[in-house]
Amino acid sequence: MPDLPAGVEVITRHAPDGRHWRILLHHTPGTVPLPSPAHDLLTGALAHEVAPGGCAGTDPTRPSRAR
């Protein structure tokens, strides 16, 4: 994901069938806004930010929907 600040680590995992997921790990003390809202696979909600010390799992191929 472009435009993420320092301290946010992005890991992309790929499945053999072509699906992929992004895991965002936030290592800084402040809340970090995401460049664009994403469907959080951990909560099922639309994520706009990652909390201090938090994480979010996103599926770039899944449409985001508000909850």
Query: Which is more confidently placed, 2 or 17?
Result: 17
- H-run or E-run covering 5: none
Q: What is the pLDDT of residue 67?
A: 45
Q: What is the pLDDT of residue 1?
A: 62
How big is the CA angle at 24 (ends 4 and 41), to the nearest 5 degrees?
Answer: 130
Strands (DSSP E) contained in the chain are 8-14, 20-26, 32-39, 46-50, 55-58
- pLDDT tens track for 36-65: 888 888 888 888 888 999 888 887 666 555
- pLDDT tens track for 27-44: 989 998 887 888 888 888
Q: What is the pLDDT of residue 36?
A: 80
Question: Does this model's pTM top 0.75?
Answer: no
